[in-house]
Chains A and B, each alone.
Chain A
Amino acid sequence: MLSVKSLNTEYAAANGQVVKAAQDVSFEVPDGELFTLLGPSGCGKTTTLRSIAGLERPKSGAIEVSGQVVYSSEQRVFVAPNRRNFGMVFQSYAIWPHMNVFKNVAFPLEVRKARPSRKEIEQRVMRVLAAVQLAELADRDATKLSGGQQQRLALARALVMEPRLLLLDEPLSNLDAKLREAMRFELKRMQRDFGLTTVYVTHDQSEALALSHEIGVMNDGRIVQIGSPRDIYERPRNKFVADFVGSTNFIDGTVISAAAGNGRCRVATPVGELTVQCVDNLAKGSPIVVSVRPEDVELSEAELARGDDDNVCRGIVEAKVFLGDYLDFQVKVGESVLLARVHPSLRTPTGDPINVRMRAEKCVAIAEVAAPRAAA
Chain B
Amino acid sequence: MAVGVTPSHAALAGAVPSRRIEWTWAPIALAVAVVAWLALVPLAFMLWQSVLSPQTATSAARFTLDNYRTAYASHDTARLFLTSLEFALGSAALAFSCGALLAWINERTDTPFKTLFFALALVPLIIPGILFTVSWIFLGSPKIGLINLALQHAFDTDTVFINVYSIPGMIWVDGLHYSPVAFLLMTAAFRSMDPALEESAMMSGATLPQIMWRITIRLASPATAAALLILFVRALESFEVPALLGLPVGIEVYTSAIYDAIHSYPSEIGLASAYGVALLIITSLCVFITTRISSLSGRYSTVTGKGFRPRVMTIGRWRYVTAVVFLIYVLLVVVLPFLVLLWSSLQRFYSVPSLAALKNLTFEPYRRVLAYPEIGTAIWNSVLLSLASATLIMIATSILCWIVVRTKLPGRWFVDHLASLPLVFPGLVLGLSIMVCYLTLPIGVYGTIWIMLIAYVTRFLPYGMRYNTASLLQVHKELEESAAMSGASLRTTFGRIVLPLLKPGLIAGWIYIVIVSIRELASSILLYSPGTEVVSVMIWELWQNGQYVELSALGVMMILVLFCFVMLAQLVGRRFGVADA
B7 touches A76 (CB 8 A): yes
Interface string of B460-495 (1 = CB under 8 A from A): 000000000000000010110111111111001000
A107 touches B483 (CB 8 A): yes
With A76-B7, A80-B16, A111-B492 known as contacts, the answer to whether A90 contacts B486 (CB < 8 A) is: no
> Nearest-CB distance from A184 to chain B (Å)?
22
From the candidates B16, B486, B492, B501, name the one contacting A157 in the complex (CB within 8 A): B486
Within A152-171, which residues are at the interface with B (CB < 8 Å)?
154, 157-158, 161, 167
- CB contacts (< 8 Å) of A54 on chain B: these are 484
Q: Does any Cβ of A come within 8 Å of B10's Cβ? A: yes
With A11-B11, A55-B13 known as contacts, the answer to whether A111 contacts B488 (CB < 8 A) is: yes
* Number of chain A residues close to chain B: CB under 8 A: 36
- CB contacts (< 8 Å) of B15 on chain A: these are 80-82
- CB contacts (< 8 Å) of A78 on chain B: these are 7, 18
> Nearest-CB distance from B87 to chain A (Å)?
40
A161 touches B487 (CB 8 A): yes
Within B496-550, which residues are at the interface with A (CB < 8 Å)?
496-497, 500-501, 503
Within A75-100, which residues are at the interface with B (CB < 8 Å)?
76, 78-88, 90-94, 96-98
- CB contacts (< 8 Å) of A107 on chain B: these are 483, 486, 488, 496
> Nearest-CB distance from A47 to chain B (Å)?
11
Q: Does any Cβ of B come within 8 Å of A353's Cβ? A: no
Q: Tell me the bound Cα distance from A83 to B490 in angstroms.
A: 11
B489 touches A94 (CB 8 A): no
- CB contacts (< 8 Å) of B488 on chain A: these are 82, 107-108, 111
**Secondary structure call for the A interface:** loop
Specify the chain A residue showing the minimal Cβ separation from B479: A94
Q: Does any Cβ of B come within 8 Å of A56's Cβ? A: yes
Q: Does any Cβ of B come within 8 Å of A57's Cβ? A: yes
Within B352-390, which residues are at the interface with A (CB < 8 Å)?
none
With A76-B7, A94-B479, A97-B501 known as contacts, the answer to whether A53 contacts B485 (CB < 8 A) is: yes
Q: Does any Cβ of B come within 8 Å of A192's Cβ? A: no
Q: Does any Cβ of B come within 8 Å of A112's Cβ? A: yes
Interface extent on B, as a size class? Answer: 20 to 34
Q: Tell me the bound Cα distance from A91 to B33 in angstroms.
A: 37
Interface string of A18-51 (1 = CB under 8 A from B): 0000000000000000000000000000000000
With A55-B13, A76-B7, A97-B501 known as contacts, the answer to whether A85 contacts B482 (CB < 8 A) is: no
With A56-B11, A91-B478, A94-B478 known as contacts, the answer to whether A108 contacts B487 (CB < 8 A) is: yes
- CB contacts (< 8 Å) of A157 on chain B: these are 482, 486
Q: Tell me the bound Cα distance from A98 to B481 in angstroms.
A: 16
Q: Tell me the bound Cα distance from A97 to B476 in angstroms.
A: 11
B478 touches A86 (CB 8 A): no
- CB contacts (< 8 Å) of B12 on chain A: these are 57
Q: Does any Cβ of A come within 8 Å of B442's Cβ? A: no
- CB contacts (< 8 Å) of B476 on chain A: these are 92, 94
> Nearest-CB distance from A332 to chain B (Å)?
41
- CB contacts (< 8 Å) of A96 on chain B: these are 479, 482-483, 497, 501
Q: Tell me the bound Cα distance from A264 to B204 in angstroms.
A: 59
Q: Does any Cβ of A come within 8 Å of B209's Cβ? A: no
Specify the chain A residue showing the minimal Cβ separation from B481: A55
> Nearest-CB distance from B54 to chain A (Å)?
49
With A56-B11, A57-B10, A98-B500 known as contacts, the answer to whether A82 contacts B478 (CB < 8 A) is: no
Specify the chain A residue showing the minimal Cβ separation from B410: A12
A80 touches B501 (CB 8 A): no
Q: Tell me the bound Cα distance from A91 to B476 in angstroms.
A: 11
Q: Does any Cβ of A come within 8 Å of B17's Cβ? A: yes
Q: Tell me the bound Cα distance from A81 to B476 in angstroms.
A: 18
A108 touches B11 (CB 8 A): no
Q: Tell me the bound Cα distance from A158 to B488 in angstroms.
A: 13
Q: Tell me the bound Cα distance from A108 to B11 in angstroms.
A: 23
> Nearest-CB distance from B298 to chain A (Å)?
11
Interface string of B131-172 (1 = CB under 8 A from A): 000000000000000000000000000000000000000000
B18 touches A161 (CB 8 A): no
- CB contacts (< 8 Å) of A97 on chain B: these are 501
- CB contacts (< 8 Å) of B18 on chain A: these are 78-80
- CB contacts (< 8 Å) of A79 on chain B: these are 18
- CB contacts (< 8 Å) of B487 on chain A: these are 82-83, 85, 108, 111-112, 161
A57 touches B11 (CB 8 A): yes
A98 touches B482 (CB 8 A): no
Specify the chain B residue showing the minimal Cβ separation from A105: B486
Interface centre among A85, A108, A111 (most CB of B within 10 A): A111
From the candidates A82, A93, A98, name the one contacting B485 in the complex (CB within 8 A): A82
> Nearest-CB distance from B132 to chain A (Å)?
40
- CB contacts (< 8 Å) of A87 on chain B: these are 485
From the candidates B10, B17, B485, B496, name the one contacting A88 in the complex (CB within 8 A): B485
Interface string of B237-261 (1 = CB under 8 A from A): 0000000000000000000000000
> Nearest-CB distance from B12 to chain A (Å)?
8
B17 touches A80 (CB 8 A): yes
- CB contacts (< 8 Å) of A86 on chain B: these are 485
A82 touches B497 (CB 8 A): no
- CB contacts (< 8 Å) of A57 on chain B: these are 10-12
Q: Tell me the bound Cα distance from A143 to B281 in angstroms.
A: 48
- CB contacts (< 8 Å) of A84 on chain B: these are 485
Taking A84-B485, A108-B486 as given, write out 5 further A-B residue pairs in contact, using a Cβ cutoff of 8 Å, ordered by the A residue number. Answer: A11-B408, A55-B13, A87-B485, A94-B478, A111-B483
Instruction: Provide 6 A-B residue pairs closer than 8 Å at the C-beta atoms, listed in order of the A residue.
Output: A80-B15, A81-B481, A82-B15, A90-B478, A98-B501, A111-B496
Which residues of chain B have a CB within 8 Å of any CB of chain A? 7, 10-13, 15-18, 408, 476, 478-479, 481-489, 492, 496-497, 500-501, 503
Pairs A-B, 3 closest by C-beta atoms: A108-B486, A94-B478, A82-B15
